[in-house]
Amino acid sequence: MSKAALHTLGCRLNQAETEIIAKRLQNSGYHIVEWGQAADLTVINTCTVTEQADAKCRQAIRLSLRRNPATKVAVIGCYAQMDVEALRKIDGVSLIIGNEHKLQITDFLDNLDVGQNPVVVHTSKISRDEFIIDAIGLYDTQTRANLKIQDGCNFVCSFCIIAAARGPARSRNFEDVLDEARQLIALGFREIVLTGVNIGTYANNGRDFAALLKSLAILPGLHRLRISSIEPTTVTHELIDIIAGFPTICRHLHIPLQSGNDGILEKMRRKHTIREFRETVEYASLNIPGIGIGTDVLVGFPGESEEAFADTRKFLADLPIAFYHVFCYSDRKGTASYKLKPKIDPQEKKRRNHIMTDQGRRQKRRFQLGWLEQKVDVLFEQEEQGWWNGFTDNYLRVRIRAAGNLKNQIHTVKITGITDEELSGELL
């Protein structure tokens, strides 16, 4: 039996798609092995969000070929969509597939040669049509399953290349989403995570994201439904009320802010103001008790003065946000911000990143402290050196000492302590 190894770079959506591809390969007769092991086929699902991400993709390709010179390397996804010519120049690449056709990879594997000119499957124009996915993901160890509902984006932020790499916003067929969710529940998954590029813009045959959420939330046997990163302008009061009204929907929202200064937001071509963002977060916090709210912060955007950075610090410090993802701005050719000036010194960007990361750590600790001596429900995922760990629905990591196998089980825990990254507790 032929062997295939898969490697994913980038976002949760890429992870979801790699899992679907793995299942299709398995159905086609491949035995799936860990990346790095000897394999007849190596599939690298790429990211192109920054030039550093591109470099990591090239490194992964070359590492695969060094480890296994006889493998056929298929490079798929966002970097394959954006820079076919760069990939052609890497000796040993056998197949290049852009985003339009990457889930159909099994249709293009016949007659590939190692070390010859790569087969290229690419179109610069990506369809706007609804789509279906005729396979579920291959999951071996996870207790949470990713469910792709949407792809592409029409927002076109000035710093982001993904609208070009992924194409226009398009949504998965409504019934097809529900069908895969039912299959995942039947396989025993306790939690389903909704993924896409801009999931809040989901729309299919007159049904929006709110309608999809309500239909999924009442599926028999589903314990948890989690929303992945979602744009602030799509987090409506209606959506927040739905989360509050369905116990299966996790009390967790990750809402990217990027900057707490309206002038910088305008240059970023973001669609929200700081007033609108604050109102959304405060409404969610008021109406969903115990909600864990996260955000993205992009420091060092061109023209971000010390005063604009201070605005971001103060704005976030005053909000009930528990989780920060902090990034340094990186120039990306092909984006509108690439030509913006003045650029921020790299050392200054690192300094701002450190400041915001430290502030995020303090706000996370403040959120954690509110759960001491409280009872929480934890979906346990894995055991390490006698400690079982997992997540609450509001995205707090919890670990406990316990005998026996708790994997993929939800248990009530009393929180008794806090470490840097997680809570500790006792099984009740």
Query: Tokens standing for 4?
Result: 């295939």
pLDDT reported for residue 141: 60
* Separation of first and last alpha carbons in the chain: 47
CATH number attached to the domain at 252-369:
3.30.750.200
Would you identify the CATH topology of the domain 139-250?
Transcription Regulator spoIIAA (3.30.750)
pLDDT at 325: 97
Q: Which CATH number fits domain 3-121: 3.40.50.12160, 3.30.460.80, 2.130.10.10, 3.40.50.620?
A: 3.40.50.12160
- What long-range pairs does 211-216 form, CB within 8 A, spacing at least 24? 211/174, 212/149, 212/174, 212/177, 213/239, 213/242, 213/243, 213/246, 213/249, 214/242, 214/246, 215/174, 215/178, 216/177, 216/178, 216/181, 216/192
- DSSP class per residue in 210-276: HHHHHHHHT-TT--EEEE----GGG--HHHHHHHHH-TTB-SEEE---B-S-HHHHHHHT-S--HHH
Specify the pLDDT at position 366: 96
CATH classification (class only), 375-427: mainly beta
What is the predicted pLDDT for the residue at 354? 98
Mean pLDDT by groups of 10 residues along the chain of 428 residues: 93 92 93 92 94 92 91 95 93 94 93 82 90 83 88 96 94 97 94 97 97 98 97 98 98 98 98 98 98 98 98 98 97 94 97 98 96 97 92 97 93 94 93
Q: One fold for both 252-369 and 375-427? A: no
- Domain locations along the chain: 3-121, 139-250, 252-369, 375-427
